[in-house]
Amino acid sequence: MRTELTDLTVAEIRDGFRAGDFSAREVAEAFNANVAAAKALNAFIVETPEHALAAADQADKDKAAGTLKPLSGVPIGMKDLFCTNGVQTTAASHMLEGFKPTYESTVSQKLWDAGAGMLGKLNLDQFAMGSSNETSYFGNVISPWRSKNGGNAPLAPGGSSGGSSAAIAARLCPAATGTDTGGSIRQPAAFTGISGIKPTYGRCSRWGIIAFASSLDQAGPMARTVQDCAIMLENMAGFDARDSTSLDLAVPQWEAGLSADLKGKKVGIPREYRVDGLDADVARVWDDGIAWLKDAGAEIVEVSLPHSKYALPAYYIIAPAEASSNLARYDGVRYGLRDLPDGANLQDMYAATRAAGFGPEVKRRIIIGTYVLSAGFYDAYYTQAQKVRTLIARDFATAFESCDVILAPTAPSAAFALGDKTADPLAMYLNDVFAVPASLAGLPAMSVPGGLSKDGLPLGLQIIGPAFDEQSVLNAGLAIEQRAGFTARAEKWW
C-alpha cells in the first residue's frame, strides 16, 4: 500500500508522476475528493475539479508524447485574489460576487503554462485585508488545527491567505498561491505549520491580482516544504511588461540552487524584535532556530533595526491610503455589484453600492486611507509614514552589511481562536508586527515551521534576506526545515 497521494509534496508528485508511479488523473482525483470532503474548513470559495482533471489529462498526454512541463501532474489551489478567466474571482467580497474575469492574471497563467491544474479558488480576508480570515464575505476559514488546551474552539488559519494555508495543512492541495501585503503569506503559513515565501517586490507580476496596496502587494507560493516553495516560485516569477514595477531580471533556478550548508554565512538576529513580554514559546522556537542555523555552519551576529517599532503604524497609514485609492474603482458601473436605490442619482449609486459591497474592515481602511490623504493631513500622515519607510529600508540595508539573512519569529503568537480579536482592530493589526517591516522594505521573506507551542499549535520562523536574494532565504529555510523535524499535522476532524 503506497502513501496517500494527497500526502505527497509538489516535488514528490512531479517526480512520481514522471517515474510512472501514478497518473496525473489519479492525483487530481485524489485531491478533488479531499476538497469535496472538507467543506467544514470553508477553504474554497469556488471548486474547480474539472479544471484540475483537464490539466491532469493533458499532463498524462504530454507524458506519453514526451512533452512534460515543470509542473505537469501537479494540482494547486489559487487564492481568490488572482483573476482567472471565466472562473468567479471575488477577493472574498460581496462587491465582486459573480465577477468572472475575461482575462487571466500573469501569475496564474504562468502556472497553467507550466502544466499545473486548478483545484479551486481559495478563500481569503476580504480584499486581502485581515490577519485571521474573518473578514471574508463567504465566511470564516477554519484552521484544521485544534489547540490541546482550548477545547475544540475553531482557530484562525491566519490571513489574508487563510484559505491557502488551511487547504495545504489539511492536504486539500499540495501548494497554493498567496499574496503578501503585510504578512499575508508568512503569518498564515506560520499558523498552520507550512512554509511560504514572499519574494522581492517585483519578482511576481501584479497584473491581474486584485489590488490592495500596490507598493506592497506581492504574490508568492505556499506549500509544505522549502523545495516546493522554490519550485512554485520559479513558475510564478518573471518579468511582465504589463506591471510597471515588474523586475526585469532572469528567474533564478532556486530549486537547483538549494543548499542547507550555511558555512561562511552570517545570520543576523535583530535585537529590537526581542520585545518585552515576547511569548515564551515564540522565544524558545526562535532560540531553537538560532541553534539550528549555527549547526548548519552559519555564524550568528546581533543586528539592529532601530525603527522596527514604527513599521506597523507606518504600514497602517500607507496600506489604507493605497487601498482607498485602489478601491475607488468599485463604483457599480463597470463590474461588480450595483445598488441603485429608487430615485438615486449617480453619486447616490456610488455610495450605496460601496456601502453594500464592502465589509466593515474594508470600509474602515478606506475611511482611514481617505482621511490620511485628505487636504491638510497628507504631509502629517502619509509623507511622514513614507519617510519612516525610507528609514526602515535603510535599517535593513545597514543590517545586511554585517549579515546575509535575518532570523526572527514570523508572528508574536500561535493561532488564536476565531472571534478573539475581532472586537479590537488594533489588537488584530499587532499580529503582523514582525512581518510588516520586510514588506515595507520590499524584501524577500519566508516562514518555515519551527515547532509547536505548549498547546500543540505550530509556530513559524521567519527568514528575511536582501533584495533579489531569495536563494539565501530559501537555503536558510531549508537548513531549519532539515533540523526542526517538523512532522506534526492537524488530526482530521472535518
Partner 1 sequence: MSVDLTTVKRVASLARLAVTEAEAEALVPELNGILDWVEQLGEVDVTGVEPMTAVIPNTLRLRDDVVTDGDVRDKVLANAPQAEHGFFAVPKVIE
Nine-digit cell string for 96: 465582486
**DSSP string for 404-443:** SEEEEESSSSSPPBTTSSTT-HHHHHGGGTTTHHHHHTT-
**Shortest distance, CB of residue 283 to partner 1, whole angstroms?**
25
79 is catalytic: yes
The C-alpha atoms of residue 163 and residue 126 are separated, in whole angstroms, by 12
184 is catalytic: yes
Backbone angles phi, psi at 407, to 5 degrees: -115, 130
Taking the least distance from each CB to partner 1, the nearer of 32 and 200 is 200
Provide the phi-psi class of 91: left if phi over 0, else alpha when psi is between -120 and 50, else beta. Answer: left
**Shortest distance, CB of residue 430 to partner 1, whole angstroms?**
10
Q: Do 483 and 261 touch, CB atoms closer than 8 A? A: no
Taking the least distance from each CB to partner 1, the nearer of 206 and 354 is 354
**Shortest distance, CB of residue 340 to partner 1, whole angstroms?**
7
Nine-digit cell string for 139: 465566511
324 is catalytic: no
Q: Do 371 and 377 touch, CB atoms closer than 8 A? A: yes
Taking the least distance from each CB to partner 1, the nearer of 273 and 350 is 350
The C-alpha atoms of residue 122 and residue 130 are separated, in whole angstroms, by 15
The C-alpha atoms of residue 446 and residue 289 are separated, in whole angstroms, by 14
Taking the least distance from each CB to partner 1, the nearer of 151 and 376 is 376
**Shortest distance, CB of residue 467 to partner 1, whole angstroms?**
6
Nearest to 267 by CA among 222, 301, 241: 301
The C-alpha atoms of residue 391 and residue 469 are separated, in whole angstroms, by 21
Return the sign of the alpha-carbon dihedral for residues 87, 91, 92, 95: negative
**Shortest distance, CB of residue 206 to partner 1, whole angstroms?**
13
Provide the phi-psi class of 217: left if phi over 0, else alpha when psi is between -120 and 50, else beta. Answer: beta
Taking the least distance from each CB to partner 1, the nearer of 149 and 374 is 374
Q: Do 90 and 138 touch, CB atoms closer than 8 A? A: yes
Taking the least distance from each CB to partner 1, the nearer of 141 and 467 is 467
**Shortest distance, CB of residue 186 to partner 1, whole angstroms?**
17
**Shortest distance, CB of residue 350 to partner 1, whole angstroms?**
4
Of the residues 105, 136, 143, 160, only one is catalytic, namely 160
Of the residues 184, 195, 308, 324, only one is catalytic, namely 184
Of the residues 69, 72, 79, 110, only one is catalytic, namely 79
Q: Give the number of other Cβ atoms within 10 Å of residue 131's Cβ.
A: 28
Reduce the DSSP state of residue 137 to 3 states and report it.
Answer: coil
Taking the least distance from each CB to partner 1, the nearer of 88 and 259 is 88
Catalytic residues: 79, 160, 184
